[in-house]
Structure 1
Amino acid sequence: MSPPSETDQRWDSATYDDAHSFVYEYGEDVVDLLDPQPGERILDLGCGTGHLTQQISDAGATAVGMDRSAEMVDSARENYPDCEFICADAHEFTVDSPFDAIFSNAALHWMTDQDAVLESVVDALGPGGRFVAELGGHGNIEAIVSATHAELAERGYETPMPWYFPTIGEYATKLESHGFEVQYATLFDRPTDLDGERGLATWMEGFGDSLLASLSADVQQSVIEGVENRLRNEFFTDGSWTADYRRLRIVARLVDD
C-alpha cells in the first residue's frame, strides 16, 4: 500500500486558540527567557495567532510576528491590530532592517531544513543579536509517535516522521556552525494536559496532518482509536489525556566577527 504523503500541516486558527491554547500559554515562560527590553526590535518567528507577539510588545519592544500560515496571520492581525504581522516562510525570509532578537515558540520543529532557517535568522539579526527559542526536543511525544507508527504499519503504510526533535548537542552544534554562541540550553520533560476524553483525538486532528491527511476519514478515525487504545492505560487518567512532551530551550547570541 502506498504510504501517506508528507503534506504541509494545515492550521485552523480558531481551533488552535481554543483546543490548543496550551501552546502559547506555556510559551509565556519563553518570553520571560527572552527578556524583551523597551526599544528593541524583536521578530516572533512562527507567531501563530499572535498572542506572544503581543506579550513581547507589551514589554515595550517593537514586535513583528511572522508565520507561514496566511490564516494564522489574518487571525493575528485581527486579534492585535497594533502589532505588525507578515506572512513568510522561515526557510527563506528577508527583512528590511535587522532585529535585536529573534524569538520562536513551538515552531522550529515543524521546519524541515534547519540550516536554511538559521541562515535566514542570521541574516535578519544585527551584530550580537540573540536567538531565543523553545521547540520539541529529543524524545518529544515519543509515545504518541510510536503508537501512531504502529497503527499505520498494521494497515500497510510506511511511517513518515514530520517533526525535528533534536538533542541539546545536535542543536547546539548546528547553532555554532551558523556563528552563534550558545549561552543556555536545557532539555526537560513537560507532560502536557490534553483536556477531556477527546483530548488526544483533538491533538492528533490538529497536529497530525503530515501523518494522517492523505488517509480517508474512516481510516484516520480507526488509526486515532487504535492510538488511544495503545496509550490509554498510561496516559489517560481522571477523564483526561496527557501528552509526553519534552522541550528544548535555547538562548544563543551571534558572535561578532
Structure 2
Amino acid sequence: MDDDDSGPAPRPQPQPAPRLQPPREWDAGSYQVVSTPHQGWGAEILDRLPLRGDETVLDLGCGTGRVTAQLLERLPRGRVVGIDGSAAMVAEAQRLLGSDRATFRQADLVAFTVDEPADAALSSATFHWIADHDALFPRIRAALKPGAPFVAQCGGRGNIATVVAAVLAVSAREPFAAALGDWPGPWNFAGPEETRRRLERAGFAVERVWLQDSPKRPQRLREFLRTVSLGSHLECLPQELRDPFLDAVVVQLGPDPVHDYVRLNIVARAG
C-alpha cells in the first residue's frame, strides 16, 4: 500500500513548553562541602588552558571559588574575575578568596558584560544549567579579546541518565505531579555536534568538542542531591513536599548508586 493511501498524517501533538528559570540561589556552604567531583573536573580543564601567568581570566560559573583558587596558582602576576548567578555563591567566593587578584560578581551568564575584554575564560560544571546556549556563547565571545583561549566542561548528552530517570519517575507521582508534572527538568545536556556549530556561529575557532564518561559516587548522597542535582525541583515544590520528594528520589535510585556523569568538553579560541 502506498503511503498516500494510509489516510491523513497525524496532527503533531503540542509539546510542553520549556520552563525557563533565572539562575537559582544555591546553598553555598553545603556546595563547598559536597562539590568534590566538580573540583576534579576543574583541575582537568585547567590543564587545557594555556597561560603565561599575567592574564586576566574569566571564571564563568565560579561557584564558591574552588576552581578559582586553582586558577590563581597559575596566575602569579594575573587576576581572575569570577561570575556566578547565585548571590550566595558569590558572597562565599568573595569571603574565601576576594582580593585585588580575585574579584567576584553576580550576573546571569547570558546577560553579563565586562569593562574590558579578558585574556582567557574557563567554565566548569555550569553550562548545563543554562537553557539558551545560542545566547550564551556570543555573550562569552564578546567578553574576550581576539585569540583568547576558552576552555569549558559541563554535563553533556546522556549525563546523569539514571538520576534523570529516577527524578522523572518520582515527579510523575502524586502529590509531586501537580507541581512538577512532565517537566523534564532544568538541565540542558547538549551534544558536541550542536555545540560546535553554536560556538562557530558565535565567532569561536573550535579546536575540539567531545564527550567523556566520568562516573562518580557522590558522598553524602542526600545532601548532594538537595544542594546540586535537585535544587530547581525543590524550589518548585511547597516546603512540606521537599523532604518527601528528596527521600523518594533517594529510594528510587537504590542503594549505593553511581552517578553516570557524561562531560561535554570544549577547547576553543575567540576568533
Aligned 1:1-257 pairs, distance under 5 A: 8-60=23-75, 61-82=78-99, 83-155=102-174, 156=177, 157-196=181-220, 199=221, 201-207=222-228, 208-232=230-254, 236-237=255-256, 241-255=257-271
Q: Could you tell me the TM-score, scaled by structure 2's length?
A: 0.83
Q: C-alpha offsets along residues 104-152 of structure 1, whole Å, 9 cap, x if unaligned?
A: 0011111122122212111111111221100101000111111111111
Cα distance in 1 for partners of 2:235, 2:54 equals: 43
Amino acid at match of 2:61: G
Structure with greater strand percent: 1
Q: C-alpha offsets along residues 69-119 of structure 1, whole Å, 9 cap, x if unaligned?
A: 111111111111221112222111111111111110011111122122212
- State the SS of the aligned residue for 1:132: strand
Q: Could you tell me the TM-score, scaled by structure 1's length?
A: 0.87
Q: Does the 8 A contact of 2:25 with 2:88 survive in 1?
A: no
Cα distance in 1 for partners of 2:35, 2:65 equals: 14
Q: Does the 8 A contact of 1:103 with 1:132 survive in 2?
A: yes
Q: Which structure's CA Rg is the greater one? A: 2
- Which 10-residue stretch deviates more, 52-61 or 145-154? 52-61
- State the SS of the aligned residue for 2:146: strand
Cα distance in 1 for partners of 2:20, 2:163 equals: 18
- Which 10-residue stretch deviates more, 153-162 or 45-54? 153-162
Q: C-alpha offsets along residues 223-247 of structure 1, whole Å, 9 cap, x if unaligned?
A: 3333333321xxx34xxx4211110
Q: Does the 8 A contact of 1:36 with 1:56 survive in 2?
A: no
Q: Does the 8 A contact of 2:129 with 2:187 survive in 1?
A: yes
Cα distance in 1 for partners of 2:40, 2:95 equals: 19
Cα distance in 1 for partners of 2:96, 2:40 equals: 16
**CA RMSD between the two structures:** 1.8
Q: CA deviation at 1:217?
A: 4.3
Cα distance in 2 for partners of 1:6, 1:148 equals: 18
- State the SS of the aligned residue for 1:186: strand
Cα distance in 2 for partners of 1:212, 1:188 equals: 29
Cα distance in 2 for partners of 1:9, 1:160 equals: 17
Q: Does the 8 A contact of 2:50 with 2:149 survive in 1?
A: no
Cα distance in 2 for partners of 1:224, 1:86 equals: 31
For structure 1, which runs of at least 5 residues remain unmatched after alignment?
Answer: none
Cα distance in 1 for partners of 2:138, 2:251 equals: 43
* Higher normalized contact order (CA 8 Å, seq sep 6+, divided by chain length): 1
Q: C-alpha offsets along residues 30-52 of structure 1, whole Å, 9 cap, x if unaligned?
A: 11111332112210011011121
